Structure 1
């Protein structure tokens, strides 16, 4: 029997949650809800989910604080909801490890499209690595079950998509990939990202793993083509 996709929604707007619940059930997702920050944090840290939809403005504990705690132990995709169309909030959420965001008021069609996309990316990559418990290189080691990466024995703090991207490149070290190929393989769908976003992910990874960001050792740029993971890595 196929595993049921579980989605946790943390939002204090109970009327909105009721609407979201109907749409999730119609899409055959298993939905769970929390209406306070404290309750949502407890569910997020103790349950197993394929996606968390998280409002920024919550009673007791705000969404950004919850996201920070989630990222200490999980790479589950997180879709942030915000009532404020402020770029600073969105940037802060993405920096803390959010995978996507929506500004209220949004259409349910757009929300479901974002949910479907994040779930598809997450489950596609997990299936592709299901047969591999670990990948060990000279300096890095990956555990695809716990989704933990060690650099010289020290655990790295990576978002879900950063783990996916780094694992993909490392598993094919020495092989050159274009930005289009990277997106299709890691995101699991037709190329829809602009080059600047791919470059942003690479830049964030380099800051976390490279001894010298100005002279990258692990993730190398092949000018005019794309990127490759160092064969000696």
Structure 2
């Protein structure tokens, strides 16, 4: 049973919310509902420490699921499963680029929905542990210590420059969120910095090389073509 897990269902259609509630409660999940994006954001603000996963419909009035997903990713790494009747590849890519962890098209079987939810929850539990001190500890041996400003791979210290550390931490603290090069220049170098976007590229290249040299087998910083970067 999953009585300790709470799932937020965001869909403007009552019938779909009701159907999802039936499926999830039958598996022992607690459920909370929101009928639009603003209600969802307000619910997460009130209960973000008690909510374990969000099921987010794309087609909603006022603000669509893409925009709400991106808003959530600005402050939370909570797993997000997007639902849509739209089966086009570009919609799936858009959802994933905005920060969704998975994408399921309607209609779907309840067994597949539950299986995907369990997979997302396992991934969230195993991949990263974020302490109150801001430390980020990943299951593949990557450890980022915020206060000490140190990075380890399998307990081996990785020597990063100040800007390289800031850049890695900013990306790692918001996995799946896509940052443009302009975002990263502004966040890491500051509003007054005047420099080429290739500054970001060269720092990312150095970080990747140093992590790989320390034994990290997976490239954790993915390039989002023509946009920027995200941590995976």
Structure 1 position 140, deviation (Å): 5.1
TM-score (norm 2): 0.62
CA distance in 2, matches of 1:119, 1:111: 12
The runs of 4+ residues in structure 1 deviating greater than 6 Å are 128-133
- Structure 1 window deviating more from structure 2 (60-69 vs 115-124): it is 115-124
Report deviation, 1:18.
Answer: 1.1
Equivalent residues, number: 176
SS in structure 1 of the partner of residue 78 of structure 2: coil
Instruction: Tell me how large the CA RMSD over aligned residues is.
Output: 3.8
Other-structure match for 2:145:
136
Deviations 1:201-223, CA, capped at 9 Å, x for gaps? xxxxxxx896153883333279x
Partner of 2:15: 15
Alignment counterpart, residue 75 of structure 2, candidates 53, 73, 91: 73
Query: Residue 99 of structure 1 aligns with which residue?
Result: 101
Are 1:210 and 1:216, in contact at CA under 8 Å, matched by a contact in 2? no
Unaligned runs of 5+ in 2: 136-143, 153-162, 178-199, 221-232
State whether residues 11 and 56 of structure 2, in contact with CA within 8 Å, keep that contact through their aligned partners in structure 1: yes
* Partner in structure 2 of residue 156 of structure 1: 170
- What are the equivalent positions in structure 2 for 1:12-51 lying under 5 Å apart? 12-48=12-48, 49-51=51-53
TM (norm. structure 1) is: 0.62
User: How do 1:136-215 and structure 2 match up within 5 A?
Assistant: 136=145, 152-153=165-166, 156-158=170-172, 211-213=203-205
User: Offset of 1:73 from its aligned partner?
Assistant: 0.3
